[in-house]
């Protein structure tokens, strides 16, 4: 088996960290990329402790120069990347009439511009090897969510971005798919609970009561779905959006 090299963005914590650990367990060498290289070391140490190979990389995915340098560094120090998980994300929730230009730009820049820059910088290695797996994180909020006009636009955009990548890159042996989580227990949902003034445990219970499987999701639930799309076995699955939300969404 060829050892694939994967890059997971926003992998210092939450869904990204769980995904990095999962892809390493699947046999990949993993670049753990996040804003601060120091913050990536926990995930890298966990992977190394389990016998895997990982590299901590600090970069802002919305910055063209930092992205180019980060991807080149991965290629030089870990190997040429053919698996990319665009997971880095932020929220800046507010109702439309109160949303600032900066809150709109920050969210669109990290999710959409970040995924664009990372994918453009990485695709050349995939094309060279005639093999690639791209997984983009969308969200159930792509279907619309009060207070998230910026985030839902970005996460809906991730789905169109994914489908176009699938069309353009398919002839190079590259697939692109999107995973759209529902409520997952991470710092992101904890910060939402804090913003609306709810205890995080109560917030989770309220969310779980609305979900058909009657529980909230864990980062590992999302990593399991990403693992499939990132695998060799998923070569005939491209341009899809998979909701990982404990119930039907479309
Ligand atoms: P999280 O715990 O907040 O982790 C996000 C990570 O992305 C953080 O480590 C953050 O770094 C990093 N990041 C932010 N801006 C970045 C940038 N410009 N460049 C590089 N890294 C950056 O979030 P999560 O809940 O795991 O979410 C992961 C992804 O899943 C996001 O795309 C999110 O939108 C999506 N998602 C989450 C949920 C959910 O319920 N949690 C549901 C649907 C979709 P810092 O800590 O330094 O800011």
| Span 108-149, pLDDT tens digits | 999 999 999 999 999 999 999 999 999 999 999 999 999 999
Q: Which pLDDT belongs to residue 185?
A: 98
Q: Which pLDDT belongs to residue 177?
A: 99
Q: In what order do the strands lie in the sheet with 29-34?
A: 54-58, 29-34, 5-9, 83-86, 132-137, 174-181, 241-244
Contacts of 227 by beta carbon, 8 Å cutoff, 6+ apart: 19, 22, 23, 26
- What is the rounded average pLDDT of the residues 174-194? 98
Q: Is the pLDDT of residue 101 over 80?
A: yes
How do residues 149-158 score in pLDDT, each as one tens digit? Answer: 999 999 999 9
The span from the CA of 30 to the CA of 164, in Å, is 26
Domains and CATH numbers, the chain: 5-181+219-243 (3.40.50.720), 183-216 (no CATH)
Nearest atom in ligand 1 to the alpha carbon of residue 217 is 40
Q: Which pLDDT belongs to residue 1?
A: 72
Q: Which pLDDT belongs to residue 2?
A: 85
Provide the mean pLDDT of the chain. 98
Q: Is the pLDDT of residue 235 over 90?
A: yes
- Atom 12 of ligand 1: nearest residue by CA position: 10
Using a 6 Å cutoff on CB, does residue 221 contact ligand 1? no
Residue 151 is among the residues annotated as catalytic for this protein? yes
pTM (two decimals): 0.99
Percent of the chain predicted with pLDDT > 70: 100
Q: Is the pLDDT of residue 250 over 90?
A: no
């Amino acid at each position: 088996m060829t050892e694939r090299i994967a890059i997971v963005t926003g992998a210092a914590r939450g869904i990204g960290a769980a995904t990095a650990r999962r892809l390493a367990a699947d046999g990949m060498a993993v670049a753990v990329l996040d804003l601060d290289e120091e913050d990536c070391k926990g995930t890298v140490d966990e992977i190394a402790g389990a016998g895997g190979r990982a590299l901590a990389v600090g970069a802002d995915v919305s910055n063209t120069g930092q992205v180019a340098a980060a991807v080149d560094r991965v290629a030089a120090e870990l190997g040429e990347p053919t698996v990319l998980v665009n997971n880095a994300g932020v929220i800046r929730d507010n109702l439309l009439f109160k949303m600032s230009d900066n809150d709109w730009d920050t969210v669109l820049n990290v999710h959409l511009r970040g995924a664009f820059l990372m994918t453009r910088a990485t695709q050349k290695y995939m094309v060279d090897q005639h093999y690639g797996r791209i997984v983009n994180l969308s969200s159930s909020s792509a279907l619309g969510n009060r207070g998230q006009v910026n985030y839902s636009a970005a996460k809906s955009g991730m789905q169109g971005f994914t489908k176009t990548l699938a069309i353009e890159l398919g002839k190079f042996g590259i697939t692109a798919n999107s995973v759209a989580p529902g409520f997952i227990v991470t710092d992101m949902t904890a910060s939402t609970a804090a913003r609306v003034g709810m205890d995080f445990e109560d917030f989770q219970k309220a969310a779980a009561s609305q979900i058909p499987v009657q529980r909230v999701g864990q980062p590992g639930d999302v990593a399991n779905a990403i693992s499939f799309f990132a695998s060799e076995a998923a070569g005939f699955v491209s341009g899809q959006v998979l909701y990982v939300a404990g119930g039907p969404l479309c």
